[in-house]
Amino acid sequence: MSYDTLIIGAGAAGLAAARQLQAAGQRICVLEARERVGGRIATDRTYGPVELGAEFVHGDRACTWQEISSAGLRTRPWGTNRRFARGGRLLLPDDPAIGRTYALYELATTYVGPEISVAELLARHAASGDPALAFALRWLANLEAADPAHLSAAALARERADSHNGSGNFHLLDGYDRLTTYLAAGLPIRLGMPVARLVWRPGAVVARLARGEALRARRALLTVPAGVLRAGRPAFDPPLPAERLAALERIGVGHVTKLILWFDRQCWPEFTVLSTDGQVATWWPVPGAATPTLMGYVGGPAALRLAARGEAGAIATGLAELTALFGADMRAACLGGRLADWSRDPWSLGAYTYSPVGMGNARAILAAPLAETLYFAGEATVTNGHLATVHGAIESGYRAAAEILAGGAIPTIF
């Protein structure tokens, strides 16, 4: 059987595009390497829903809300009570380092000027031993999954200004996987089907699967993560143009490690998010879990260092740091934990993308259709400030579907 469009990847972008194309009457097939849909959306249900990957709906105007409403999913706003801890103790709310941390964060996210890394920018405004500098750099490394020494302050500020997703962050109480299950309903999806090679010429593609099967179509939409594309999966025959490959290399592939710890009782004071100087940079309580649960989150190079300890080592590290902060009851109450290391996941090879110094228009180059035959979507292709988000991925799927249905590229409208 021949298809109109093969969609490679059943994450948010691939599912969004598939729904649009199927609704338009196209013969499609979604090929997913994993044995599940969702991509970097994955939910653990050991003690109620806890997110291993994407966790928040970012903004009260994100396009995700339309699908959340249609799926009948429950949400809860995330609070604003951010606390800080240093040297194994909580800082008082009026500690002067906290105000300086917020000021440095604001400086980085509103910067206007020539290309400069976030680390270099902030180093010009704070002494090297200032705890506020360390807090601000770790905060930005976490949010962007980036090394601040490479993260572009100009791009970061521009992306913040360009974003139109609204304000606030929200948890999906039923689990993010319920959203992707809803998006996948009724779609022709084949799981456990990695594409080893994509043979193409203008107007025709052949997807050669790792299991030996070959599928033919008029075109293909690639929604696999940037880290996987950079690793040469799938292989393209002929190879992608040099300009496209160079653009892919200029986009930063970020790192995130998440550490879930479950407890039989709450042994910590109330907070929305806790920024620390420990190896686990950030903690927050998970509202939808069935038992008290803390999520540890580390982004950037520190994510790789925590993940290198392995699951048992990371759990021990996190529990030791929490015990130093909140007392021995933390150990007694702990029911266990789980580590999510997206950088070693073979079908992710990283978390989400960020914009390093010198990236230029690499995202737009990657997003552009090739010979009206190869199309690209996913958060790495986002140019409107919504990169690194589920709603950005969904929007990119809508954009790619519109390009396919138009027979080529159209102006970006999302």
pLDDT digits (tens, 9 = 90+) for 161-202: 999 999 999 999 999 999 999 999 999 999 999 999 999 999
In this predicted structure, what is the pLDDT of residue 410? Answer: 41
Longest dimension (CA), the chain: 67
Question: Please, which pLDDT band fits residue 409 given cuts at 50, 70 and 90?
Answer: very low
Phi, psi for residue 109 in degrees, rounded to 5? -90, -5
pLDDT in tens, 319-378: 999 999 999 999 999 999 999 999 999 999 999 999 999 999 999 999 999 999 999 999
- The DSSP H or E segment spanning 122 is helix 118-123
CA–CA gap between residue 200 and residue 214 (Å, rounded): 12
Partners of 69 in the beta sheet?
A: none
DSSP 163: -
DSSP 152: B
pLDDT in tens, 64-115: 999 999 999 999 999 999 999 999 999 999 999 999 999 999 999 999 999 9
The CATH number for 2-39+176-252+355-406, chosen from 3.20.20.70, 3.50.50.60, 3.40.50.970, 3.40.50.300, is 3.50.50.60
CATH topology of domain 43-63+168-175+253-341: Polyamine Oxidase; Chain A, domain 2 (3.90.660)
2-39+176-252+355-406 and 43-63+168-175+253-341, same CATH topology: no
Q: What is the pTM of this model?
A: 0.96
Q: What is the mean pLDDT of residues 373-386?
A: 97
Domain boundaries defined on the chain: 2-39+176-252+355-406, 43-63+168-175+253-341, 96-162
CA–CA gap between residue 364 and residue 383 (Å, rounded): 6
The dihedral built from the CA positions of residue 267, 48, 390 and 247, taken in this order, carries a sign that is positive
Q: Kindly report the length of the chain.
A: 414
- Spatial contact of 118 and 105, defined as CB atoms under 8 Å apart: no
Rg (alpha carbons) of the chain, rounded to whole number: 21
Residue whose entry in the numeric block shows the structure tokens 């199927």: 22
pLDDT > 90 in the chain, percent: 98
Q: Is 277 exposed, middle or buried (0-12, 13-18, 19+ CB in 10 A)?
A: middle
Instruction: Count other C-beta atoms under 10 Å from residue 46's C-beta.
Output: 16
Helix (H, G, I), strand (E, B) or coil at 324: helix
Instruction: Copy the structure tokens of residue 346.
Output: 């073979």
CA–CA gap between residue 331 and residue 185 (Å, rounded): 42
Cα–Cα–Cα angle for 155, 157, 159, nearest 5°? 65
